Chains A and B, each alone.
Chain A
Amino acid sequence: MNNTFDAIVVGTGISGGWAAKELCEKGLKTLVLERGPMIQHPVDYTTAHMDNWDFEGGDKITQEIRKRQPKQSRTNYVNTESTSHFFVDDNKHPYNEDKRFDWIRGYHVGGRSLLWGRQSYRMSDFDFEANAKDGIAVDWPIRYKDLVPWYSYVEKYIGISGEKLGLPHLPDSEFLKPMELNCVEDELKSAVAKKYTDRVITIGRVAHITEGTKPGLGRNTCQYRNRCRRGCPFGAYFSSNSSTLPAAEATGNMTLRPNSVVSEVMYDADTKKATGVRMIDAETQEVIEYKAKVVFLCASTVASTSILMQSTSDRFPNGMGNDSGELGHNLMDHHFRLGATATVEGHEDKYYTGRRPNGIYIPRFRNIGGATNQKDFIRGYGYQGGASRGNWTEMIKEMGYGEGLKDAVLTPGGWKIGMTAFGETLPYHDNKMYLDHDKKDQWGLPTVTFDAEIKENEKIMRKDMTVQAAEMLDAAGFKDVTPFDKGYSMGLGIHEMGTARMGRDPKTSVLNKYNQLHSVSNVYVTDGSGMTSAGNQNPSLTYMALTARAVDHAVKELKKMNL
Chain B
Amino acid sequence: MDRRKALRTIGFGTTAITVTPAVLGMLQSCQTQTSSFNPIHFSKEQFSVVSQLMDLIIPKTDIPGAIELKLPEFLDGYINIILNKPAQEKIVAGLDHFIKGSLEASGKSSAGRLDRADLDAQLAKYLKADQDQQKAWQDENSAYQKAVKEDSTLAQPTSAASYEFADQLRSMTINAFKTNEYIGENVLAYVSIPGEQKGCVDLMEATGGKAWSL
Choose from B127, B188, B197, B214 the contact partner of A400 (Cβ within 8 Å).
Answer: B127
User: Which A residues, 31 to 85, have Cβ-Cβ distances below 8 Å to chain B?
Assistant: 49, 51-54, 56-58, 60-64, 66
Residues of A within 8 A of B184 (CB): 51-53
Asked whether A63 and B200 contact (CB < 8 A) given A403-B61, A405-B57, A412-B212, the answer is no
Within 8 Å CB of A51, what residues of B? 181, 184-185, 192, 214
- CB-based contact A180/B199 at 8 Å: yes
B200 with A180: CB separation less than 8 A? yes
A351 touches B194 (CB 8 A): no
Within 8 Å of chain B (Cβ to Cβ): is A410? yes
Quick check: is B124 within 8 A (CB to CB) of the other chain?
yes
Nearest Cβ on chain A to B85's Cβ, whole angstroms: 8
**Which chain A residues border B212 with CB–CB below 8 Å?**
351, 355, 412
Contacts known (A62-B81, A406-B58); A354 close to B198, Cβ less than 8 A: yes
Taking CB as reference atom, which chain A residue is nearest B187? Answer: A410
Residues of B190-214 contacting chain A, CB below 8 A: 191-204, 206-207, 209-212, 214
Q: Specify which chain B residues have a CB less than 8 angstroms from the CB of A185 in the assembled complex.
A: 199
Q: Which of A365-373, A391-399, A544-552 contacts B (4 or more CB under 8 A)?
A: A391-399
- Whether B59 lies near A406 (C-beta < 8 A) is yes
B101 adjacent to chain A (CB < 8 Å): no
Chain B residues near A63 (CB-CB < 8 A): 81-84
A356 to B196, CA, bound (A): 9
Tell whether B177 is near chain A: CB-to-CB under 8 Å: yes
Q: Are B197 and A183 in contact (CB-based, < 8 A)? A: no
Size of the B side of the interface (Cβ < 8 Å), in residues, is 56
The residues of A that contact B41 with a CB separation of less than 8 Å are: none
- Tell me whether A224 and B197 are in contact in the complex, defined as CB-CB below 8 angstroms, given that A355-B214, A406-B59, A409-B177 are known contacts: yes
Q: Report the Cα distance A154→B209, complex, angstroms.
A: 43
| B127-142, CB < 8 A from A | 127-128, 131, 134
Whether A411 sits at the interface, judged by CB under 8 Å, is: yes
**Stretch of B14-22, B42-50, B167-175 contacting A (4+ beta carbons < 8 Å):** B167-175
B178 and A409 contacting across the interface, CB-CB below 8 Å: yes
- Whole-angstrom distance between the alpha carbons of A467 and B164 in the complex? 33
A410 in contact with B211 (CB, 8 Å)? yes
CA distance A45 to B42 in the complex (A): 36
Q: Tell whether, in the assembled complex, residue B77 and residue A412 are in contact, meaning their CB atoms are under 8 Å apart.
A: no
B177 to chain A, nearest CB (A): 7
The chain A residue with its CB closest to the CB of B205 is A351
B194 pairs with A353, CB closer than 8 A: yes
CA distance A397 to B210 in the complex (A): 21
The docked-state distance in angstroms from the alpha carbon of A52 to that of B82 is 14
Smallest CB–CB gap between B21 and chain A, Å?
32
CA separation between A393 and B203, bound complex, in Å?
A: 20
Is the C-beta of A352 less than 8 angstroms from some C-beta in chain B? yes
**Shortest distance in angstroms between A457's beta carbon and chain B's nearest beta carbon?**
34
Query: Bound state CA distance, A49 and B192, in angstroms?
Result: 9
Determine whether the beta carbon of A355 is less than 8 Å from that of B194: yes
B203 and A397 within 8 A (CB): no
A378-391 CB mask vs B (1 if < 8 Å, else 0) is: 00000000000101
Question: Which residues does chain B contribute within 8 Å of A54, judged by CB atoms?
Answer: 181
Q: State which residues 397-437 of A face B: CB under 8 Å.
A: 397-398, 400-403, 405-407, 409-413
B63 cross-chain contacts in A, Cβ below 8 A: 406, 410
CB-CB nearest in chain B for A58: B179
Q: How far is the CB of B143 from chain A (nearest CB, A)?
A: 20
Task: Please report the C-alpha to C-alpha distance between residue A63 and residue B41 in the assembled complex, in whole angstroms.
Answer: 14
Interface residues of A in 127-184 (CB under 8 A from B): 179-183
Query: In this assembly, does A350 line the interface, its C-beta being within 8 Å of a C-beta of chain B?
Result: yes
Which residues does chain A contribute within 8 Å of B78, judged by CB atoms? 56-58
State in angstroms the CA–CA spacing of A330 and B201 once bound together: 48
Residues in B neighbouring A289, C-beta threshold 8 A = none
When each residue 339-368 of chain A gets 1 if its CB lies under 8 Å from chain B and 0 otherwise, what string results? Answer: 000000000111111111000000000000
Q: Is the CB of B214 within 8 A of A62?
A: no
A223 within 8 A of B: yes
Say yes or no for A6: interface residue by CB 8 A criterion.
no
Q: Is A26 an interface residue (CB 8 A)?
A: no
Report if B180 contacts A (CB, 8 A).
yes
* B210, A410: Cβ atoms closer than 8 Å: yes
Chain B hits for A182, CB < 8 A: 199-200
Residues in B whose Cβ lies below 8 Å from that of A407:
61
Q: Is B160 positioned at the interface, with any CB of A under 8 Å from its CB? A: no
User: With A225-B194, A401-B123, A405-B58 in contact, is A350–B200 under 8 Å at CB?
Assistant: yes
A411 to B197 Cα, complex, angstroms: 20
Query: B residues within 8 A CB of A350?
Result: 200-203
Q: How far is the CA of A186 from the CA of B200 in the complex (A)?
A: 9
Per-residue contact bits, chain B 76-92, to A (CB 8 Å; 1 contact, 0 not): 01100111100000000
Whether A224 contacts B199 by the Cβ 8 Å rule is no
Query: How far, in angstroms, from A401 to B171 measured CA to CA in the complex?
Result: 10
- Bound complex: CA of A133 vs CA of B65, how far in Å? 65
- Across the interface, which residues of A come within 8 angstroms of B95, CB to CB? none
Residue pair B194, A402 in contact (C-beta under 8 Å): no
| Interface positions of A from 222 to 253, Cβ below 8 Å from B | 222-225
Residues of B within 8 Å of A401, CB to CB, are: 56-58, 123, 127-128, 170
The residues of A that contact B170 with a CB separation of less than 8 Å are 401, 405
Q: Which among B124, B170, B192 has the greatest number of chain A C-beta atoms within 10 A?
A: B170
Whether the Cβ atoms of B211 and A413 lie closer than 8 Å is: yes
Chain B proximity of A73: nearest CB distance (Å):
11
Rounded to whole angstroms, the CA-CA distance of A391 and B178 in the bound complex is 10
CB B193 to nearest CB in A, in angstroms, measures 5
Query: Are A398 and B131 neighbours in the complex by a CB distance under 8 Å?
Result: yes
User: Which residues of B lie under 8 Å from residue A181 when comparing CB positions?
Assistant: 199-200
A185 and B198 CA atoms in complex are apart in Å by 13
B160 → chain A closest CB, angstroms: 15
- How long is the Cα–Cα vector from A54 to B184 in the complex, in angstroms? 11
Which of B123, B175, B195 counts the most chain A CB atoms within 10 A?
B195
Contact in complex: B210, A224 (CB < 8 Å): no
Query: In the complex, A411→B77 CA distance in Å?
Result: 27
Instruction: List 17 additional A-B contacts (Cβ < 8 Å) besides A64-B81, A352-B199.
Output: A53-B180, A61-B82, A63-B81, A63-B83, A179-B197, A180-B200, A350-B201, A351-B201, A352-B206, A354-B197, A356-B199, A401-B56, A401-B58, A401-B128, A406-B59, A406-B63, A412-B211
A interface list, Cβ under 8 A from B? 49, 51-54, 56-58, 60-64, 66, 179-183, 185-186, 222-225, 348-356, 389, 391, 393, 397-398, 400-403, 405-407, 409-413
- What 9 pairs across the A-B complex have the smallest Cβ distances? A180-B199, A354-B197, A58-B179, A183-B200, A53-B181, A354-B194, A401-B57, A351-B203, A224-B194
**14 A-B pairs whose Cβ atoms sit less than 8 Å apart in the complex:** A52-B214, A53-B179, A58-B74, A58-B179, A63-B83, A182-B199, A225-B192, A353-B198, A355-B212, A397-B127, A401-B127, A401-B128, A409-B178, A412-B207
